[in-house]
Amino acid sequence: MGDAEDLNAASDSVRFWSKVIRGPRPSDCWIWTGAIGDDGYGRYWQHVPGGQRMWRAHRFAVALVFGGGELGEHETVRHESCDVPLCVHVAHGADSHLLLGSVAENNLDRSRAGRHANMYSLRRSGGRRRDQAALSREIRDHLLEHGWDAAFPALLAGYSPDQERLF
Ligand SMILES: [Zn+2]
């Protein structure tokens, strides 16, 4: 409930979307080019009375587009049509790369995919998170330096052009 009131939609919207670069086609990802956390997801600091509130950028995009009230404690946000943590492509309708779901739905997805958390998987995902953060930073830096060029889609797919040259 408080989320909706805290969202100063006009100024946050301008500040947030100024850090996003959209792909050339309507179906492309919209890539966050601001701060990136160790989990590989974007970070957005919203000014709130008395300080700042940290958001994962893709969750903030959902809050901006759908309204903060939709993002209650029990809502999850997941990337549906892409696996790009930096993607903040939120839209009403089929073009959206991000979907809102309940925690229950999210758990169901995890169990279907055999991703029950245990000591082994937690260790493994710890390693994957670090790789993901490095890839996210590489994707952001490439986009800021070169724009959405011919090499960029391969980067997004998780392949580094440098690595491809080795084979
Ligand atoms: Zn996407």
- Residue 111 contacts residue 11 (beta carbons within 8 Å): no
Within a domain: 161? no
Within a domain: 163? no
Distance CA 34, CA 137 (A): 10
pLDDT one-digit tens code per residue, 111-146: 555 444 444 444 445 555 668 899 999 999 999 999
Q: Which of 110, 134, 122, 123 is nearest to 40 (CA)?
A: 134
pLDDT one-digit tens code per residue, 49-81: 899 999 999 999 998 888 766 666 567 888 877
- From residue 53, alpha-carbon distances to 2, 16, 44 in Å are 13, 14, 8
Q: What is the pLDDT of residue 19?
A: 98
Q: What is the pLDDT of residue 33?
A: 98
Within a domain: 160? no
**Is residue 13 pLDDT above 70, yes or no?**
yes
Within a domain: 165? no
CA of 163 to the centre of ligand 1 (A): 23
CA of 110 to the centre of ligand 1 (A): 20
Within a domain: 85? yes
User: Which tokens hold the place of 57?
Assistant: 């950028």
CA of 62 to the centre of ligand 1 (A): 13
Q: Which of 37, 34, 46 is nearest to 4 (CA)?
A: 46
Within a domain: 90? yes
Q: Reduced to 3 states, what is the DSSP secondary structure of residue 56?
A: strand
Within a domain: 42? yes
- Residue 117 contacts residue 127 (beta carbons within 8 Å): no
Distance CA 10, CA 24 (A): 25
- Residue 18 contacts residue 32 (beta carbons within 8 Å): no
CA of 63 to the centre of ligand 1 (A): 17
Number of domains observed in the structure of the chain: 1
